[in-house]
């Protein structure tokens, strides 16, 4: 991955009537990056993708591709291809004709097209499907054909709009591996749109968390998960305890009346903050060994772990643990300092918007 900015979105705004979908969005995508736009429905992620693809025109702002302004360029003149959510295969054509569509438009030779069809079908593990019709294929197979149809055109960027959304869980997980493999074999840039945080964390180099037309956080999957910048990100990515707290001084935070050691500095003294603690980062210990004491109020078996709620300091703490503590038992709660993530309270207008949604 280089630092070369392949696509640069500058001050993109888009609204439908009174509904503002994107507001002054700025984002760049590096060459050979797997970038995921992640957010709940209506957050503007699909609109962003459609603006990059050329299917929507932004009201304001520019789309720069390899240094050139392509904002006004129609989709057929852009060097990128899209994989649509519901496959969008041409049902009146065979699989081979579907894959050849873009190449025939570009007037490639017959031999070249046939080679490409073979290559693409092999790449998506569907050799021998040339003469089948799209309707006779399963959802997963159709989506692979849609990917094959896009990549034979050798785009610099592949746009994927919730491509796994219509598939069942097992297939979705298999396809995640397929997509990572494809990305590595092709060596091109993927821009992926999803509302599924697990998909985003599994596949991406960079995750862009969006809500209500604003970018909430950009970072690696680890950054996004371990160091969410605000309550929305913390809540949307995985499960978490979000606790209103007061930063007493550097490396010391008062959570619900009890002081916890942490590693964060620079927030000032006696400043109200939000604290995120992931449920798997809470250790249940003997009551006398914990930082605070609590009582287990509910217990669910989730397979890999138990999900428990522990009432302590007047708050139900969500805890994931492989150790079982029966309901009603008293336990101690222990959190390692580096597992406490401190976030500023929302101040700016866009972050306020987030608050309303939670």
Partner 1 sequence: MKLFNITNTKTNSSSNKNGGSSLGNDKVKWLSLPYIVWMIGFIILPLLVIIYYGLTSGNKLKNLFTLGNIRLILDPTNFKALRLSLELSLISTLICLLLAYPLAMILSRSRMKSNNFIVMIIILPMWMNFLLRTIAWQNILERTGIINTVLNFLKLPTLNIINTPLAIVLGMVYNFLPFMVLPIYNVLIKIDKDVVAAARDLGANSIQTFLKIILPLSIPGVISGITMVFVPSLTTFVISTILGGSKIILIGNVIEQHFRVGNWHAGSGLSIVLMFFILVSMAILSKYDKEGEGGSLW
In the complex, the smallest distance separating the C-beta of residue 16 from partner 1, rounded to whole angstroms, is: 11
Binder of partner 1 out of 71, 81, 143, 240 (CB under 8 A): 81
Smaller CB separation from partner 1, 50 or 278: 50
Q: Which stretch binds partner 1 (CB under 8 A): 2-10, 142-150, 231-239, 327-335?
A: 142-150
* Site for partner 1 contains 184 (CB under 8 A): no
* Site for partner 1 contains 166 (CB under 8 A): no
Smaller CB separation from partner 1, 45 or 278: 45
* Site for partner 1 contains 334 (CB under 8 A): no
Binder of partner 1 out of 10, 20, 88, 218 (CB under 8 A): 88
Q: Between residue 105 and residue 124, which ones bind partner 1 under the rule CB under 8 A?
A: 105-106
What is the residue whose two structure tokens read 């993927």?
A: 190
Smaller CB separation from partner 1, 150 or 234: 150
Helix, strand, coil content of the chain in percent (nearest 5):
30, 35, 35
In the chain the first and final C-alpha atoms are separated, in Å, by 35
Establish how many alpha carbons lie within 13 A of residue 325's alpha carbon, considering only the half-sphere containing its beta carbon.
23
Interface mask toward partner 1 for 38-77; x: CB under 8 A? ---------------xxx------------------xxx-
Smaller CB separation from partner 1, 130 or 227: 130
| Residue 308, phi-psi category: left (phi > 0), alpha (psi -120 to 50), beta (remainder) | beta
What is the residue whose two structure tokens read 């992931």?
A: 278
Distances (CA, A) of 29 to 191, 218, 322: 8, 11, 40
Smaller CB separation from partner 1, 108 or 271: 108
Round to whole Å and give the CA distance between 101 and 90: 9
Tokens at 13, concatenated = 């705004």
In the complex, the smallest distance separating the C-beta of residue 177 from partner 1, rounded to whole angstroms, is: 25
- Kindly write down the DSSP assignment for every residue of 141-172, as one continuous string: HHHHHHHHHHHTT--SEEEEESTTTTS-HHHH
Tokens at 117, concatenated = 């069809």
Smaller CB separation from partner 1, 75 or 272: 75
Interface positions with partner 1 (CB under 8 A): 53-55, 74-76, 81-82, 84-86, 88-92, 101-102, 105-106, 146, 149-150, 153
């Amino acid at each position: 991955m280089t630092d070369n900015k392949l696509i640069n979105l500058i001050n993109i705004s888009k609204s439908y009537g009174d509904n503002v979908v994107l507001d002054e969005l700025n984002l760049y995508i590096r060459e050979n990056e797997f970038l995921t736009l992640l957010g709940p429905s209506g957050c503007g992620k699909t609109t962003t993708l459609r603006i990059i693809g050329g299917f929507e025109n932004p009201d304001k702002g520019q789309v720069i591709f390899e240094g050139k302004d392509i904002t006004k360029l129609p989709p057929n003149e852009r060097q990128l291809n899209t994989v649509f959510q519901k496959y969008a295969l041409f049902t009146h054509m065979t699989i081979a004709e579907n894959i050849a569509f873009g190449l025939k438009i570009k007037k490639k030779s017959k031999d070249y097209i046939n080679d490409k069809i073979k290559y693409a079908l092999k790449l998506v593990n569907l050799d021998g499907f040339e003469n089948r019709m799209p309707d006779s294929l399963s959802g997963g197979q159709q989506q692979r054909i849609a990917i094959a149809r896009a990549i034979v055109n050798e785009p610099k960027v592949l746009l994927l709009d919730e491509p796994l959304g219509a598939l069942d869980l097992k297939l979705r997980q298999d396809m995640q591996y397929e997509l990572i493999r494809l990305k590595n074999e092709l060596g091109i840039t993927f821009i992926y749109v999803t509302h599924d945080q697990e998909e985003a964390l599994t596949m991406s180099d960079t995750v862009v968390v969006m809500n209500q037309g604003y970018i909430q956080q950009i970072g690696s999957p680890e950054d996004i998960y371990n160091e969410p910048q605000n309550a929305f990100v913390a809540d949307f990515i995985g499960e978490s305890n979000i606790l209103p707290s007061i930063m007493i001084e550097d490396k010391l935070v008062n959570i619900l009346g009890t002081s916890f050691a942490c590693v964060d500095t620079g927030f000032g003294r006696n400043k109200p903050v939000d604290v995120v603690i992931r449920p798997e980062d809470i250790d249940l210990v003997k009551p006398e060994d914990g930082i605070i004491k609590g009582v287990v109020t509910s217990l669910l078996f989730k397979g890999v772990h138990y999900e428990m709620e522990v009432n302590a300091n007047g708050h139900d703490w969500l805890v994931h643990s492989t150790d079982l503590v029966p309901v009603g038992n008293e336990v101690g709660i222990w959190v390692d300092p580096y597992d406490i993530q401190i976030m500023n309270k929302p101040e700016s207008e866009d972050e306020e918007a987030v608050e309303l949604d939670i």
